Amino acid sequence: MELTTLWFIIIAFLWVGYFALEGFDFGVGTLLPFLARNDTERRVMINTIGPVWDGNEVWVLVAGGATFAAFPEWYATLFSGFYLPLLLILVALILRGLAFEYRHKRPEAKWQANWDRAIIFGSVIPAFLWGVAFANIVRGVPIDADFEFTGTVFTLLNPYGLLGGMVTLSLFLTHGAMFIALKTVGDIRHRARALAIKLGLVAAVLAVVFMVWTQADTGNARSAIAFVLAAVVLLAGLFAAAKGREGWAFTGTFGTIALAVSGLFLALFPDVMPSSTDVANSLTTTNAAATAYTLKVMSWVAIAFTPIVLMYQAWSYWVFRKRIGTHHIPATH
Domain boundaries, the chain: 3-294
Q: Show pLDDT as tens, one digit a residue, over the chain (333 residues).
A: 789 999 999 999 999 999 999 999 999 999 999 998 988 999 999 999 988 998 899 999 999 999 999 999 999 999 888 999 999 999 999 999 999 999 988 888 899 999 999 999 999 999 999 999 999 999 999 999 888 888 888 999 999 999 999 999 999 999 999 999 999 998 999 999 999 999 999 999 999 999 999 999 888 999 999 999 999 999 999 999 999 999 999 999 999 999 999 999 999 999 999 998 888 889 999 999 999 999 999 999 988 888 888 898 899 899 988 999 887 777 765
Query: In whole angstroms, what is the distance from residue 90 CA to residue 157 CA?
Result: 19
Q: Give the closest residue to 261 by CA, choosing from 47, 20, 87.
A: 20
Which CATH code is given to the segment(s) 3-294? 1.20.1630.10
Query: In whole angstroms, what is the distance from residue 143 CA to residue 174 CA?
Result: 35
272, 284 Cβ separation under 8 angstroms: yes
In the chain, count H helices and then E strands.
Answer: 13, 2
Q: What pLDDT score does 77 carry?
A: 92
Query: In whole angstroms, what is the distance from residue 84 CA to residue 98 CA?
Result: 21
Query: In whole angstroms, what is the distance from residue 115 CA to residue 100 CA?
Result: 8
pTM for the model stands at 0.94
Query: In whole angstroms, what is the distance from residue 77 CA to residue 91 CA?
Result: 21
